[in-house]
Structure 1
Amino acid sequence: MVDFGRWYLRRDHEQRRRLRVGRELDERRRGAGLLQDQLVERLHERKQCSWYLQLADRVHTHRPVITMQISRSRSPERAGAERRGRVRATVLALCAVGVVVSQPASAQLLVDPLEVTMLTAGASRASASFSLQNTSDRPVQASITRQDWDRQENGDNRFLAAGSSGKSCGAMLSVSPLSIRVEPHSSRVVRLAVQTDAALSRECWDIVFVEEVPQRAATKGNSLQYIFRTGVKVYVAPPGLTRDGAVEDMAVVDAPPAKAAATTKTASAVAAPAPAKKQIAIRFHNTGGMHLLAKGRLEFRRLDNTLATQVPIAEFPTLPGAARKVLVDVPSDLAAGDYVVLALIDFGGAELVAGQIDYQAK
């Protein structure tokens, strides 16, 4: 005898599941459009998240600092259903394949320049500025704030509370205005001023953030809101500071393993592990009084001092007194043998600085 109650219950469950999956697919199609050429870390469920993006069309040698925040709103009548699992499944899917957003998902304000250096050449007051250009068809309201910042040895920026680092310009630096409205397809100027009544003996630095104020969403139901924040690094230095640096250490290290494409367990078990690639780690120390932008090259020389090959070292910045660890890949086609590796760094000073290490290619 057929248990019709259980059969109807199973059929109802299957219908609900198909309906739920269909809704998720429809929502993903409506929100299609990946944030291509942008660096995304992760999306946190049920709270605001932020990460740093380097836009492909705004490449800058000092890394533009652009923060993006996403907040998710839910309609009251559907909030309960989302809490029971649909939001969880959706967020996990987005973390796995990227962030699905609606068009447009880019900053409406273009900020230029992204770095400002102010030299107080004996004057009691110095000034500079940067511009905000609204590329959209709507007016954009933005707030202007300041923070301290420094840079870790691997090159990542670290943002700190204003006045907490001991390296910022403090009350000496003023920013105006602190709130600004930019009309469609127009531009405005943010002014920077330095009052140097007191003697300035070292370089100081701050970061000025331009944060777009979000507009109220007119849509009903679920929506994503994007808040972009662009940072302008500001350096203030007195005249006569030295530019100097040194290569303090070099080492041969294993390169981090490349992220391989997903494979089956059988294929992973059969495949032989690839030999670890090597890198040359260079520790450069800014021993002068000003921030530096350095670049250079690695020379692989045979024991008879003939040049086998050379590899460029991309530009990298360092703050005064800070150290920077730079990793350069060893060429994969380097012939087996013994070499002397020379690191030659040009930081804009009177001379290049260099370091060397022995290397055996196998």
Structure 2
Amino acid sequence: MFTVNAYAAPSATEALVRTTLERREVGPHDVLIEIRYAGICHSDIHTVRGEWGEVRYPLTPGHEIAGVVTEVGEQVTKHAVGDRVGVGCMVDSCRECVNCRNGEEQYCLNGMTGTYAAVGRDGEITQGGYSTHIVVTEDFVVKIPDGLELDVAAPLLCAGITTYSPLHHWGAGPGKKVAVVGLGGLGHMAVKLAHAMGAEVTVLSQTLNKQDDGLRLGADDYYATSDPETFTKLANTFDLIVNTVSARIDVDAYLSLLALNGSLVNVGAPAEPLPVNVFSLFTGRRSFAGSSIGGIRETQEMLDFCAEHGLGAEIEVIPADKINDAYERVLASDVRYRFVIDVATLS
């Protein structure tokens, strides 16, 4: 074991504080990563505040990790010292079930191991990327292409793959009309990705406050959902709607915007249930679905796609001592569009 600097939540109700944590020694198949940047995801806030269930404290969050390999185990073949790499929302899975074998480790039938707040194979609680170093098995480390700077790449490890995966799975591309609900950390990447895939993209946001940004990022249209006329005008329009908001929405109203065989896919994760009237699905053979991050193979594919198309997250880089301020600003929707911690400020 060795000690690294970190920021951690002492409890669900206290601010995160500077601390240290223990990392395991590098094993035969492990990679030691010096973390350069770590994104702040809304999931971090939900988790450390106990909104998604009980967690064990102190807890270091962070699952949007970009850094450089500084040591590899003797049997590692996929990475080398000096490689620019990333770690996303998971650091292990059973690797034996049908989903794992098919490259869908996020849907591991025995439960994937989250980057933080999960129980690892050693029985210890995993601790995330608000820290200077992390040790991860090589199979759950991805390469960051040279065309992506590490700071703008970090949020792609969650926000990028969380939106890329449903867009890819549901066939976003030329001839398809895609709507993105919410223009935040997830939504802004959904717009960029869907546009790069060739789809016609519409942003559905509560207000028009971010309209200029939405159009700049690649949206063709932008509508305010606070205006009832929006739901009348856009009825039966979209092949795919990706809902990125982590708050309650009127699911039936959004289902009415789908064309025949259209799908409303949730990637935002509100704490409370989202009720749906089944008759909203009958009309137009519509689907209401969910999608969770992406597998390791697909995450690498997403990073390569972003590098090819020059796509990175829109970020505001902060020092570690501004993490608590950043949390409050995330909750107030006061960021465009992702906070990224400069981990050098933890050294």
Larger Rg belongs to: 1
Higher relative contact order (CA 8 A, sep 6+): 2
Please indicate the TM-score interval, normalised by the length of the shorter structure.
under 0.3
- Between Structure 1 and Structure 2, the one with more helix by share is 2
TM value normalised by structure 1: 0.20
- Between Structure 1 and Structure 2, the one with more strand by share is 1
TM value normalised by structure 2: 0.21
